[in-house]
Amino acid sequence: MSKLRFKAISESAKRERGVIEEKGRRSELFCANVFNTERMLQYLTKDAYESVQGAIFSGTKIDRKIADQVAEAIKAWAISMGATHYTHWFQPLTGSTAEKHDAFFDLLPDGTALEKFGGRQLVQQEPDASSFPSGGIRNTFEARGYTAWDPTSPAFIYGTTLCVPTVFVSYTGEALDNKAPLLRALHAVDEAATAVAKYFDKTVAKVNATLGWEQEYFLIDKALAHSRPDIILTGRTLVGHTAAKGQQLDDHYFGVIPSRVLSFMSDLEKECTKLGIPVKTRHNEVAPNQFELAPVFEEANLAVDHNLLLMDIMDKVADKHNFKVLFHEKPFAEINGSGKHNNWSLATDTGVNLLSPGSTPMKNLQFLTFFVNTIKAVNTYEELLRSSIASASNDHRLGSNEAPPAIFSIFVGSQLSRVLDELEGVSQGKLSPEEKTELKLNVVGKIPEILLDNTDRNRTSPFAFTGNKFEMRGVGSKTNCAKPMTILNTIVAKQLTDFKKEVDALVDKKSLKKDEAIFNVLREYIKTSKRIRFDGDGYSAEWEKEAVRRKLSNNKTTPQALKVLTTKESLELFKATKVLSEVEVRARQEVELDSYILHLQIEGRVLKELVYNHILPASIEYQNKLIKNVMGIKDIYGAAHKKLTDGQLSIIEQIAEHLVEVKKLVDHMTDTRKKANKLLDSGKKANAYCENVKPYFSQIRYHCDKLEQVVEDQTWPLTKYRELLFIK
Ligand code: ADP
Ligand code: MG
């Protein structure tokens, strides 16, 4: 009998399932553990405060003396909060976060003990960088990496550790992380968007990209999750027959949140609130044991940090509640996987959402400007945007009728489509007074009313306009949002810069009025980016065919999707916007390919272990039991046994057939993997894993799942889908 599985089941049955009481006001907890503006005012001198605010607003440098003051103040606050250690908190290219803790505690030469944290410790540190992926940057430049303070994301206390958000770069300046390029992209989009926003309001001095992510996840009982080697090592089930019941009844989605889960959520939200993550919504998702959490949107860099911090907190709080959180995009076959919609917009320092229509024609022209430029940017760089969400795990989800396809397109809804169609008819050059009036009153002027009842939602679109923001829906649940946000803001920055040049040229050379010039340029953009607009069913086979006609990319696998990163156009874009140098782009591509290979390699190994060490022995054990039974019947009934053992014999044979096949497949897969491992070029190796190794996974799984169906329940060693998904 399989011990681990049944021990896990009985352990999970013993969990406390009490009703929780939510007490207290969240607003009082908010930012309790964050060195935010309020605390800065309290702890910093006026000079230091202004210097930090200047760095946040316009990226000005903080000089060493001031940094010392700031460090002193942060230390005083942190120690008063009970912190004993500090760490630079950064985002290496592994996709998650990293930290190296140092104690505040220090000794003076005379042996006096004290708490130390100066400007030097705040501003710069040197983590042991050798273990983080660099895509060859470190070898090429023999450069060590260091972390540097990002004052735009406030320091916070997590447990008893003061965490200082930082970038991670090499001594020669190359980004070794996901934050540095994001900050550069946000700077680029700020510059470009501010210049364009000034057409409409001269007082605009800064534009922030805003991000509101929606995190989906599975919550599985810890004992059950830990009883599965594949979940522990790969984050997903590599085998497992579907449960008799799945998500077809929608009873989970519309049901109440189970009490154990609610108690986890409540604890989680309290932790988040203290750390300044403005969590707002929580609900059940489509698949059993799947949930979602979403905060109020924030400035994009902060939102990215908060998402990474959230994932970390979730792991810890879940553990306390005897759960395991699965962030993998496809933990279970045949039911929905998890994503992380990225809602994105641009907001001015004057408090205007640039993707929200306003009450005057001018405000609506501003809306249209940013709306059409975003469409144009996505049209030009659709393949690059697709590459930003590519990963081995997200490959399972994109295009499998539960998430948008790998083809990028934009949904704007029928009413806004009509507005764009009308704008397409605007005359070339100067506009007649009648045309201007007509445009302002009847086309541009009507947008706010249109949007109010533009409630049709298209869940199949990867990039949908939802009234006052765009929603990028293909982002994976595990993905660091910095990646898609870096690309999206970079392409919009480039587009807005080009737009401004064109408009200015029309004003200077053709002496058009500003609004005439804007209409003229937008008209051309609408014409040339038509192919990206699609309001139909993104899941349909017809759309795939149509996308081919429109010459839209459809890169279904990660190795394919990553190729575009190093094309001439992409490298030029990154250079022009100063987001990534060629060395950095190539390094990133290398890191992503390696990560893809490693993930598949691990899955291949785990699958082999599952088959050889768990599934074969269990199947044989049950087969032996049947054989013994048949022999026993034969002993008693002699020649007459045949008729009596028909059923048993047939199961014995079925098991044998699957065993022969599955063993053969696993051995072939291993050989194929060994061949792939010999390839030196990462691109070729990733391709080999994708095209030669990966196809074995589903074939092997097929036989394992068939065996699960015939082998008796008490012998089956792996915790089943019905247990993982329905025990709450
Ligand atoms: P839903 O899409 O579920 O109907 P909402 O439209 O209210 O819900 O918002 C969904 C997400 O969009 C929320 O996480 C929210 O923070 C985010 N969001 C709303 N406005 C903006 C904005 N201007 N910029 C970025 N994200 C936003
Ligand atoms: Mg949404």
Spell out the domain ranges in the chain.
31-173, 187-578, 595-726
Q: How far apart are CA 396 and CA 110, in angstroms?
A: 61
**Closest ligand relative to 296 C-alpha:** 1
Structure tokens at 702: 């097929």
- Ligand 1 mean position, distance from CA 345 (Å): 10
pLDDT at 609: 98
Average pLDDT value for residue range 28-49: 93
Please tell us whether the domain made up of 187-578 is placed in CATH 3.30.590.10.
Answer: yes
pLDDT top residue among 66 and 245: 66
What's the 85 CA to ligand 1 centre distance in angstroms? 36
CA distances from 199 to 370, 511, 513, 689 (A): 12, 16, 11, 51
Mean pLDDT of the 450-456 span: 60
286 pLDDT more than 90: no
348 C-beta closer than 6 A to ligand 1? no
What is the pLDDT confidence band of residue 533, given thresholds at 50, 70 and 90?
A: very high
Taking ligand 2, which is a single-atom ion, which protein residues have CB atoms under 5 Å away?
341
pLDDT exceeds 90 at position 492: yes
Among residues 515, 527, 506, which one has the least CA distance to residue 375? 527
Residues 348-356 have a mean pLDDT of 96
DSSP for residue 435:
H
Q: Whose CA is nearest to atom 6 of ligand 1?
A: 466
Q: What is the bridge-based pairing of β-strands 105-107 and 279-284?
A: unpaired
Does position 170 have pLDDT exceeding 90, yes or no? Answer: no
Contact by Cβ (8 Å): 220, 685: no
Average pLDDT over residues 353-371: 91
Q: How confident is the model at residue 2 (pLDDT cuts 50, 70, 90)?
A: low
Q: Would you state the pLDDT for residue 59? A: 83
pLDDT band for position 342 (50/70/90)?
very high
Residue 405: φ, ψ to 5°: -70, 175
Distance 328 CA to ligand 2 centre (A): 19
How much of the chain, in percent, has pLDDT values that exceed 90? 75
Residue 436 pLDDT exceeds 90: no
Do the beta carbons of residue 323 and residue 259 sit within 8 Å?
Answer: no
Lowest mean pLDDT: which of 25-39, 521-535, 595-609, 700-714?
25-39
468 CB within 6 A, ligand 1: yes
The amino acid present at 388, given as its one-letter code, is S
Tokens standing for residue 72: 């002193």
pLDDT of residue 498: 98
The predicted model gives 670-678 an average pLDDT of 97
Rounded Cα–Cα distance for residues 677 and 621 (Å): 35
Look at residue 586 in the predicted model and tell me its pLDDT. Answer: 96
Whether residue 344 has its Cβ less than 6 Å from ligand 1:
yes
Q: Tell me: the pLDDT tens digits for 62-95?
A: 888 899 999 999 999 999 999 999 999 999 888 8
Q: What is the pLDDT of residue 1?
A: 57
What pLDDT sits at residue 138?
64
* Mean pLDDT, range 153-175, rounded to an integer: 92
pLDDT at residue 439, as a whole number: 83
Name the closest ligand to CA 488. 1
Question: What pLDDT is stored for residue 135 in this prediction?
Answer: 81
Q: Answer whether residue 728 shows pLDDT above 90.
A: no
Give the pLDDT score at 139.
65
Position in ligand 1 atom list of the atom nearest CA 466: 6
283 lines ligand 1 (CB under 6 A): no
pLDDT at 219: 96
- The whole-number average pLDDT for the span 565-581 is 98
Q: How confident is the model at residue 114 (pLDDT cuts 50, 70, 90)?
A: confident
HSE-up of 155 (CA within 13 Å, CB side)?
28
Best residue among 469, 470, 472, 481 to mutate for probing ligand 1's pocket (most ligand atoms within 8 Å of CB) is 469
Helix (DSSP H) and strand (DSSP E) numbers for the chain? 30, 17
Angle (CA) 53 41 114, round 5°:
100
Q: Report how far ligand 1's centroid is from the alpha carbon of 295 (Å).
A: 9
Q: Is 719 in contact with 5 (CB distance < 8 Å)?
A: yes
* Cα dihedral 720, 722, 725, 727 in deg (nearest 10): -100
Question: DSSP H helical segments within 678-712, as ranges?
Answer: 682-688, 694-710
Q: Report the range of poorest mean pLDDT among 32-41, 157-166, 408-417, 439-448.
A: 439-448
Q: Above 90 in pLDDT, residue 376?
A: yes
Is residue 143's pLDDT more than 70? Answer: no
Q: How confident is the model at residue 453 (pLDDT cuts 50, 70, 90)?
A: low
- Residue 343 CB less than 6 A away from ligand 1: yes
Task: Please tell me the distance between residue 214's alpha carbon and the centre of ligand 2 in angstroms.
Answer: 7
- If you average pLDDT over every residue of the chain, what do you get? 92
- pLDDT on residue 296: 96
Ligand 1: distance of its center to the CA of 297 in Å?
A: 7
Q: What is the pLDDT of residue 323?
A: 97
Res 343: pLDDT: 97
CATH topology of domain 595-726: Four Helix Bundle (Hemerythrin (Met), subunit A) (1.20.120)
Nearest ligand, measured from the Cα of 346: 1
Task: Give the atom of ligand 1 at the shortest distance from the alpha carbon of 356.
Answer: 23
Give the confidence band of 393 by pLDDT, cuts at 50, 70, 90.
very high
**152: CA distance to ligand 1 center in Å?**
22
Residue 327 pLDDT > 70: yes
Q: Of all protein residues, whose CA lies closest to atom 23 belonging to ligand 1?
A: 345
**How many angstroms does the Cα of residue 463 sit away from the middle of ligand 1?**
14
Query: Is 639 a residue whose pLDDT tops 80?
Result: yes
Q: Please tell me the distance from the alpha carbon of residue 450 to that of residue 448, in angstroms, as a whole number.
A: 5
With a cut of 80, say whether residue 252 has pLDDT above it: no
Geometric angle at alpha carbon 676, from 675 and 682, rounded to 5°: 150
Which of the given ranges, 236-245, 495-504, 508-517, has the highest pLDDT on average?
495-504
